[in-house]
Amino acid sequence: MLRLESNRWSELQHAYGEASDIPDMLRKLASNPPYKDYESEPYFSLWSALCHQDDVYTASYAATPHIIKILAADPAKAHWHFFLLPTCIEISRYQGRGPEIPTDLKNPYFESLSRLPLLVAEAAKQDWDGSYSRAVAAAVIVAKGHHDLAEAILELSEDVVPEFMEWIRNR
């Protein structure tokens, strides 16, 4: 995993250019700040920089192991964005919406994703609403390599499920 103090961050890119600001955002994320709405920090800035309009960047791959490490510190208290952001980064990477993973970041990236199913089990100690349930289900599924299914689950919002179920029943 790329150290937060590494100068390599300035060589990586995110949606707005050089990624030297990502380590500070990750440090803020480590305090597990409250998530009130989509503009809550540092969630908003991390999403904007790392998975901007479904595009991902070299910094996205470097940040993912850190996000998952922070999640692993206390999965039962983590907000569902800790699962969703790495999942969406991986779906976008799989769809070719970003550069290749640099060689030095590849193993830490994929090893961190493989941890998601066990972290979901730990997170099961808390109550889940529909958003949390979709995020963790998609995280498990993307970690197992089923990208299209993970994306489909994320699209099944509570307002879409009744229509989808009606379509299934009437096929």
Give the pLDDT score at 1: 95
Give the C-alpha separation, 132 to 62, whole Å: 24
Closest-CA residue to 150 (of 79, 81, 91): 91
Q: What is the pLDDT along the chain (171 residues), one digit of tens a residue?
A: 999 999 999 999 999 999 999 999 999 999 888 888 888 899 999 999 999 999 999 999 999 999 999 999 999 888 899 999 999 999 999 999 999 999 999 999 999 999 999 999 999 988 999 999 999 999 999 999 999 999 999 999 888 888 888 888 998
pLDDT at position 37, please?
A: 85
pTM summary value: 0.94
Structure letter (DSSP) for residue 28: H
* pLDDT score for 161: 85
- Sequence length of the chain is 171
**CA distance readout (Å), 156 to 19, 68, 91, 132:** 33, 24, 16, 12
Residue indicated by tokens 């100068």: 7
